[in-house]
Amino acid sequence: MLKINWLRSGLGGLQWLFFLFTNTVVIPITVGAAFALPQERIQFLIQCSFILTGIACAVQAWLGHQRSVMEGQSGLWWGVILSLSASAPSLGISLTELGGSLAVGILISGVITILIGLCGLATPLSKLFTPGVMAVFMFLLGCRLNIIFLEGMLGISSGSSDKANVIQPAIFLLAAAVAVLVAVLSIKARPAIAQYALLIGILGGWALHVFIFGSSGGTSNSGTLDAVWFPLGEPAGGLNTGVIAIAVIAGLINTSNTFGALKGTDAIYEHEAASSQYKRSFTISGILAVISGVLGLVPYAPYVSSVGFLQQTRMRERLPFVIGGLMFAAIGLIPAVTGLLTQLPLSIGSAILFVTYLRLLGSSLQYFGQLHMDAANLYRTAAPLFIGIIVMGLPSEIFTTLPPLLRPLLGNGLLVGILLALLLNQVHSRSSLSALSPSIRTKGE
């Protein structure tokens, strides 16, 4: 029986390993390409991402929020950094200056996040993230990230040349078949098989991709891990205060990931996360953000997609999660293995993540179910949803008439939607209090 439990934990850890990998590997590659870094710098970012993500997951599981929730490089931060790098020429700043300014902004936001945790500000801050706000956040996050994953399934990758960014039908058909297989196994297969559907999809899809299309070159390096501080640009000389301000705002909005992930897993763990869990989670995420700023990585946050993964695998135990995290960190220390894993086809990894993130719709609908859909609630949830989705679909060129420093913020549909949801929620709350105050005075008289 003990052997069976360890085997189950080992297989679960291997599945978590691939989940961590597929959620992580694309981020440092695209950021490195966006900042025109040499190949050895990109390899450094990949290895640091693997090591820090694996350690972060293990630390959060045992010392932080104590749940099987991936701590990874934030998709919200990822989008902001890529948007800023794309708009750097129109901002009139170099990529090195942008990288240095981002590093300062990330360090400041990390310190603020640590203070939120240490000072116990998570509880009052959580009151801002009502069911209406969380419903909008979950829905828009699913839309934003599934756009990236669908592009990957189509054979389109960020950082590639315009000529390479075209739909590749054969690659898409294989990726779509893998996605369907994973979905069918998750729904129809016996629980013993269904909980490993993602692992089956990754390994089977990878093998088929190599058999049909051959292996890709990938990123490989047999050298040692050489530390490079501030690889995107050193925070010295001319810093852009607007970029720093946007980074701090993004860091504050990024706290929504913690509330989304922990509140989203409350039903899975059958109890609400305590204030002490939020305090420890924010403190650790803040420390990771400070480290990220120094190493040129995308800052960290608990992954809301973990909700879909836990629902998909039905495996909430911490041991497999910790095993997967430690294996991931160990892989980051071995450049040869890191190079091998980076050969996982983007389309296959994207297909697996696409299926996983579809589950965010269920989490969003659960929050919508907590709302009484009167006229006020309808407008204050519909407006952020539709405006956020519309902004996501607009070409970046149309924002050129806006002030340069506002373009990355107003051109990000996810940020716009969350900010609008928070704003409308506060306006609605204050108007409700104003409407109640006369009756309260009357009763007092």
pLDDT of 98-156, one tens digit each?
899 999 999 999 999 999 999 888 878 878 888 888 889 889 888 887 887 888 888 87
Look up the pTM and report it.
0.77
Tens-digit pLDDT profile for residues 59-80: 999 898 888 889 999 877 887 8
Please indicate whether residue 434 or residue 423 has the higher confidence score (pLDDT). Answer: 423
Per-residue pLDDT at 352 exceeds 90: no
Please indicate whether residue 269 or residue 290 has the higher confidence score (pLDDT). Answer: 290
Q: Which whole number is the average pLDDT over 280-293? A: 94
State the angle between helix axes of 275-295 and 39-62 in degrees (0 to 180), rounded to the nearest 10: 160
d(CA 93, CA 237): 12
Closest of 252, 290, 237 to residue 80, by C-alpha? 252
Closest of 112, 438, 64, 358 to residue 253, by C-alpha? 112
Please report the pLDDT score of residue 405 as a whole number. 67
Beta strand extents in 290-403 (DSSP E only): 300-302
d(CA 45, CA 57): 18
> Which residues, including other chains, have CB under 8 Å from residue 24's CB and lie 6 or more apart?
49, 50, 53, 72, 73, 328
Report residue 147 as tokens: 């756009």
Tens-digit pLDDT profile for residues 310-328: 877 777 788 888 999 999 9
Tens-digit pLDDT profile for residues 71-113: 999 877 887 887 778 777 766 778 888 899 999 999 999 999 9
- Three-class DSSP category at 226: coil
Q: Which whole number is the average pLDDT over 173-196? A: 86
Report residue 92 as tokens: 């009139």
Q: Given the structure tokens 């810093």, which residue do they identify?
A: 239
Closest of 50, 355, 326 to residue 200, by C-alpha? 355
Please report the pLDDT score of residue 401 as a whole number. 82
Closest of 299, 310, 427 to residue 362, by C-alpha? 310
Tens-digit pLDDT profile for residues 210-239: 999 887 655 455 555 667 788 888 887 678
Per-residue pLDDT at 445 exceeds 50: no
Q: Which of 188-197, 274-283, 379-388 has the least mean pLDDT?
A: 188-197
Please indicate whether residue 243 or residue 385 has the higher confidence score (pLDDT). Answer: 385
Please report the pLDDT score of residue 6 as a whole number. 65
Query: Left, alpha or beta for 120 (phi > 0: left; psi -120 to 50: alpha)?
Result: left
Tens-digit pLDDT profile for residues 2-39: 555 667 777 788 888 888 887 887 788 778 877 888 87
Please report the pLDDT score of residue 71 as a whole number. 92
